[in-house]
């Protein structure tokens, strides 16, 4: 029903992930009514991000330079690498301030259904980083779902023979959650991984 | 946690209606991975919409020219005006193909809580359109919620003394809902069964 400029705006907004036709329409009309400066800034940000953002040469995290902020930081421990699926996961882990090593962004997880095999991930690049023997531990922090577990298992098999210690993030009850709402698998894992208090 | 270009992109996306921080992050990473052409098209659409879209001089519907497509159409009945809150509502009603008259976009509804009074709506402009006596009926198609009903009541009081017939969309619209989300059949029925107010 929408034609011309507004029609193509709605159509293009509708291609964004998680934006259906109604949301696209809502955003389009919001754009028409917003301050011109805000809209120009938004459009510039979109183009600029596309132009300037690339991937770190070492860890493949998003970066505006050859090396990302974390790989450039001399205070980060070179002996530990945390392998994650996406750059988003790097941010999530950084927020905890628990991890002082460096990262390796795999670019996804093994998923035969989606046609993603080990060769589609940056696994070779990870192995290369281990070649000089500096790294002593790899934490495999892929998602705790089917694809993430499969990727972790695959990686573990490759990494153990190289003499590095391999670990996986603990599964268990989310802090602040209710025990009664935990699913069976999570609760089972929480039992398995229980820590003795004394 | 996000810095530089990607940080400002996420921040700006997060200002869009219905987009929270997580969605903004998801869209930002989608943009980084999408085809450059698609992203340029999206950014251009946003800027172009802002530049080219204005409001119809007669009915205040969104338009790329002085007169909107509907006001330019000589086949539309000049004797009936359908008053709606937003341009989105025009599209919703057009989709039903029930209405052959013209529109008047009020620009919102009376809402004391949001500080929107009758003077903030394009009511004077509607009364002006009735001055020459051509229009014989005004269908008040404001949303079937508190603000929409208040606006309809206010309009009815102004319009009836001018000798035009005033009607309101029939029930069939879910009370408390938004007109723009009604499906075509419901909205079509509502047009068919519109009740004359006096």
Residue spans per domain, chain B: 4-52, 66-196
Under an 8 A CB cutoff, do A18 and B23 touch? Answer: yes
B 22-41 near A (Cβ less than 8 A):
23, 25-32, 34, 36, 38-41
Under an 8 A CB cutoff, do B49 and A5 touch? Answer: yes
* CATH number given to B4-52: 1.10.8.420
Under an 8 A CB cutoff, do A39 and B47 touch? Answer: yes
Closest residue by Cα to residue A24 from B95, B10, B19, B28: B19
With a pLDDT cut of 70, the percent of chain B lying above it is: 94
Element of type H or E holding B82: strand B80-84
> What is the predicted pLDDT for the residue at A155?
94
* The pLDDT of residue B175 is above 70: no
Q: Would you call A17 an interface residue with chain B, using a CB distance cutoff of 8 Å?
A: yes
**Residue range A14-31: mean pLDDT, rounded:** 91
* The pLDDT of residue A5 is above 90: no
**B106 close to B126: Cβ distance less than 8 angstroms:** yes
User: Is the whole model's pTM more than 0.80, yes or no?
Assistant: no
Q: Name residue B71's beta-bridge partners.
A: none
Phi then psi dihedrals of residue B107, to 5 deg:
90, 20
Q: Would you call A76 an interface residue with chain B, using a CB distance cutoff of 8 Å?
A: no
* The pLDDT of residue B1 is above 70: no
| Cα–Cα separations (whole angstroms), residue B27 to A23, A38, A158, A188, B20 | 14, 18, 33, 35, 11
- SS3 track for B134-192: CCCEEEECCCCCHHHHHHHHHHHHHHHHHCCEEEECCECECCCCCHHHCCHHHHHHHHH
Per residue in A138-180, pLDDT tens? 999 988 888 999 999 999 999 999 989 998 888 887 777 777 7
Chain B residues inside the 8 Å CB shell of A55: none
Q: Would you call A4 an interface residue with chain B, using a CB distance cutoff of 8 Å?
A: yes
* The pLDDT of residue B112 is above 70: yes
> What is the predicted pLDDT for the residue at A198?
61
CA distance B68 to B35: 34
Ranking A92-96, A117-121, B24-28, B89-93 by mean pLDDT, the lowest is A92-96
Chain mean pLDDT for chain A = 89
B161 or A196, which is more confident?
Answer: B161
> What is the predicted pLDDT for the residue at A185?
81
What is the second-level CATH architecture of the domain B66-196? Answer: 3-Layer(aba) Sandwich (3.40)
**B56 close to B125: Cβ distance less than 8 angstroms:** no
> What is the predicted pLDDT for the residue at A1?
59
> What is the predicted pLDDT for the residue at B196?
74
pLDDT bracket for residue A95 (50, 70, 90): confident
Q: Where are the beta strands (DSSP E) in A62-117?
A: 62-63, 80-84, 102-105
> What is the predicted pLDDT for the residue at B67?
93
Per residue in B118-130, pLDDT tens? 999 999 999 999 9
Burial class (CB in 10 A: 0-12, 13-18, 19+), B56: buried
**Residue range B123-140: mean pLDDT, rounded:** 94
Per residue in A27-81, pLDDT tens? 998 998 888 899 999 999 999 988 888 899 999 999 989 999 999 999 999 999 9
CA distance A66 to B97: 57
**Residue range B92-111: mean pLDDT, rounded:** 92
**Residue range B169-187: mean pLDDT, rounded:** 73
* The pLDDT of residue A110 is above 60: yes
Q: Would you call A54 an interface residue with chain B, using a CB distance cutoff of 8 Å?
A: no
Closest residue by Cα to residue B69 from A31, A32, A3: A3
Q: Would you call B170 an interface residue with chain A, using a CB distance cutoff of 8 Å?
A: no
Domains A4-52 and A66-196 share a fold: no
Residue A80 burial (CB count, 10 A): 19
């Amino acid at each position: 029903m929408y034609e011309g400029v507004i029609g193509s705006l709605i159509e293009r907004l509708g291609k964004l992930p998680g934006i259906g036709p109604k949301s696209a329409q809502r955003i389009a009309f919001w754009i028409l009514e917003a301050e011109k400066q805000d809209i120009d800034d938004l459009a510039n940000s979109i183009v600029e991000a596309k132009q300037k953002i690339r991937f770190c040469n070492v860890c493949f995290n998003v970066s505006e330079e050859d090396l990302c902020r974390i790989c450039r930081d001399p205070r980060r421990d070179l002996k530990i690498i945390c392998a994650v699926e996406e750059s988003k996961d790097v941010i999530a882990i950084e927020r905890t301030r628990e991890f002082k090593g460096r990262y390796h962004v795999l670019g996804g997880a093994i998923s035969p259904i989606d046609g993603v095999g080990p060769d589609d991930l940056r696994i070779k690049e990870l192995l290369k980083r281990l070649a000089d023997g500096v790294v002593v531990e790899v934490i495999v922090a892929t998602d705790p779902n089917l694809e993430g577990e499969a990727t972790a298992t695959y990686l573990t098999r490759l990494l153990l023979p190289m003499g590095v210690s391999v670990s996986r993030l603990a599964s268990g009850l989310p802090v602040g959650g209710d025990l009664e709402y935990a699913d069976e698998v999570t609760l089972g894992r929480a039992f398995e991984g229980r820590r003795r208090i004394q």
